[in-house]
Amino acid sequence: MASTSVISATVPQLASPPNNALAANVTGRYNGLKCCQLPQRINLRSSTKNCPSRAVRIICQSTIQQVQDIIATQLSVDPSTVQPETKFSELGADSLDTVEIVMSLEEKFGVSIGEQDAENISSVKQVADLIEKQRSI
Amino acid sequence: MRWLLNSRTWSPSSSQFSYCLSLLPTPQQDEIIRFVKFEDQKRYILSRLMQQMLIHVVFNIPYKEIVISRTKEGKPYVEPCYLNASAPNVNFSVSHHGDYVALASETLCLVGLDIMGDEGNDEPEEYIKNFRSYFTVLEWDNINSAGQDGRQLLDQFHRYWCMKESYIKAVGIGIGFELRRAEFFFKDGNIWGDSPCLRLDGIERTDWHFYLFHLRDNHWVCVSKGPPGDAIESFKKTLHTINQLWKGKQI
């Protein structure tokens, strides 16, 4: 069998960047501290379009927001980057992340999402809809 | 190519980090800065830069002109216009976990790579039980044959998980695959072996090869290699050569 060699290396020291090469959208401090500040964006319209009455609209909004927060926490991303239409693949989630997200959501909402449903989840809104469906049963 | 970097030992200054970020297209910069933890940002930026470096090294394309796209499932691929007769199917897989960021690439066969490691679980037995339904009976028995030793249980779980991930990443599936369909076993029965075999939907696939490695601090890596014809449609379209004689060929 052909052998596969693994090359292990530390990242080489970079040359000093030219003064005008700084990326415009990176702010804040580094070395373990928060690196960016993004404005809060909550898209109410897309999370409520399927809910008829005002009371139900509030419940719908709350579920998707909680789902967004849990996903953002699990993936350690800024919550404002997790929108209903966002796909898990866009957030860098792999199979393990997806399974752990589903587990967290099942625990939070007290529902059980079937294995087949879990394996077909690809977007934030899809999982929120699944939870709403389970809760209404 | 097989590249492995330790992201923990990279301590860029703010200007160095900004410079690295500026080397990437703006959408990728946005993807990186959404991470709230700097360690995640470092891992992602290294992963992106390694991909750029691969294209530059293999095809000699200037960094600023490199385009790396993704299929709808999220699989990154080499633009077909870069490919040529001597490197018809250049494809790659990246993974990062804990301290490590890695990339594996091949010019003809499919390649997949995954790294798994600890996530600070205090109760491995309880944690692993949550994943029971993703393993076949054989795999579950193998994992639990590690007994009460939490370290060994976690190692077995991580090994099996990165075997499965390395397969699905090679074919370009991403998420949305029934993981039990890909069953891994060791022909000699040694569950700590480094060359697992694949049974896909119950059929042994001798045209797939897997290599397991152990890295420091309880990380496990699996590299997979398989026939280009097994790529899913959206990924297959990006490759030049599909019809290769493959049967049992050692790579």
pLDDT tens for B94-130 read 999 988 999 999 999 999 999 999 877 778 888 898 8
Q: Which of A2, A5, A89 sits opposite B175 (nearest CB)?
A: A89
Q: Quote the CA–CA distance of B44 and B61 in Å, as a whole number.
A: 22
Q: State the pLDDT confidence band at B227, using cuts at 50, 70 and 90.
A: very high
Give residue-wise pLDDT tens across range B6-44: 999 999 999 999 999 998 988 889 889 999 899 999 999
| List of chain B residues whose C-beta atoms are within 8 Å of the C-beta of residue A68 | none
Q: Which residues of B touch A37 (CB under 8 A)?
A: none
B246 touches chain A (CB under 8 A): no
A7 DSSP 8-state letter: E
Q: CA-CA distance, B29 to B49, in Å (whole number)?
A: 11
pLDDT at A8 over 50: no
Is the CB of B36 inside 8 Å of chain A's CB atoms?
Answer: yes
Q: Which of chain A's residues have a Cβ under 8 Å away from the Cβ of B12?
A: 14, 30
ipTM above 0.90, yes or no: no
List pLDDT tens digits, range B163-216: 999 999 999 997 778 899 999 999 999 999 999 999 999 999 999 999 999 998
Long-range contacts of A97-106 (CB under 8 A, 24+ apart): A98/B175, A99/B130, A99/B131, A99/B134, A100/A74, A101/A70, A101/A71, A101/A74, A101/A75, A101/A127, A102/A127, A103/B130, A104/A70, A104/A73, A104/A74, A105/A67, A105/A70, A105/A131
The model carries a pTM of 0.78
Bridge partners of B111, per DSSP, are: B225
Specify whether A94 is catalytic: yes
